Structure 1
Amino acid sequence: MGWQDEMKAWFSSLKPVRPVEMIGLWRGAGIPSDHPFDGVLENLGWFGKRFHADMRADALLFQWRADRLVAIEPGFFPIRLAIKAAPFGRTRIARTWLFYLQKALRARGRTASLALQPSGEGATAAMSYDRQPIIDYFRRMNGQELAGMMCIEGDARRYFFKLRRIDATAATEG
Structure 2
Amino acid sequence: MQREREATEAVAAGGRMPRLTDYLRHGARTIGVEQQVTALWALMDDAPGIALHLPVLRGALRHGAIAIRLLNDLRGHHRERTEGKADALAIGLSAPEAYDRAEAAVEACRRALAPLTATAYVPAVALERVILWHSRMYHRFDPVRPGRAADAFRLPRKEPKADMEQEADMEQEVLDAIASGREYEPTKLAELFDRLEPVDATLLTGTWKGDGFEFTSENAVLLAQMRWYGKRFVDAGHVEPLLRLDEDGQVFSYEERGLATLHEVVFRGKPSAAMVYDQLPVIDHFRRITDDVLLCVMDKKGDPADFYFHLTRVP
TM-score band, normalised by shorter chain? 0.5 to 0.7
Structure-2 residue corresponding to 1:16: 198
1:116 corresponds, among 256, 261, 264, to 264
Preserved contact between residue 74 and residue 132 of structure 1 (Cα < 8 Å): no
Matched, 1:49 2:231: yes
1:8, distance to aligned residue in structure 2 (A): 2.3
Root-mean-square deviation (Å): 2.1
Structure-2 residue corresponding to 1:71: 253
Preserved contact between residue 215 and residue 221 of structure 2 (Cα < 8 Å): no
Preserved contact between residue 17 and residue 138 of structure 1 (Cα < 8 Å): yes
CA distance in 1, matches of 2:274, 2:210: 16
CA distance in 2, matches of 1:27, 1:155: 24
Structure-1 residue corresponding to 2:63: none
What letter matches 1:62 in structure 2?
R
TM-score (norm 1): 0.66
Aligned residue for 2:290, secondary structure, equals coil
Q: How does 1:1-174 map to 2 (within 5 A)?
A: 4-32=186-214, 35-64=217-246, 65-66=248-249, 68-73=250-255, 75=257, 111-167=259-315
More helix by share: 2
Preserved contact between residue 203 and residue 291 of structure 2 (Cα < 8 Å): no
- Structure 2 unaligned blocks of 5 or more: 1-184
- Structure 1 unaligned blocks of 5 or more: 76-106, 168-174
CA distance in 2, matches of 1:48, 1:54: 17
1:69, distance to aligned residue in structure 2 (A): 1.7
Provide closer, same or farther for how the CA distance between residues 134 and 163 of structure 1 changes in structure 2, counting only shifts above 3 A.
Answer: same
% identical aligned pairs: 28
TM-score (norm 2): 0.38
Aligned residue for 1:37, secondary structure, equals helix
Structure-2 residue corresponding to 1:94: none
Provide closer, same or farther for how the CA distance between residues 152 and 54 of structure 1 changes in structure 2, counting only shifts above 3 A.
Answer: closer
CA distance in 2, matches of 1:140, 1:118: 15
Q: Which has the larger radius of gyration?
A: 2
CA distance in 2, matches of 1:17, 1:128: 15
1:53, distance to aligned residue in structure 2 (A): 2.3
Partner deviation per Cα, 1:50-76 (whole Å, 9 max, x = no partner) = 00124320010001133x32211363x
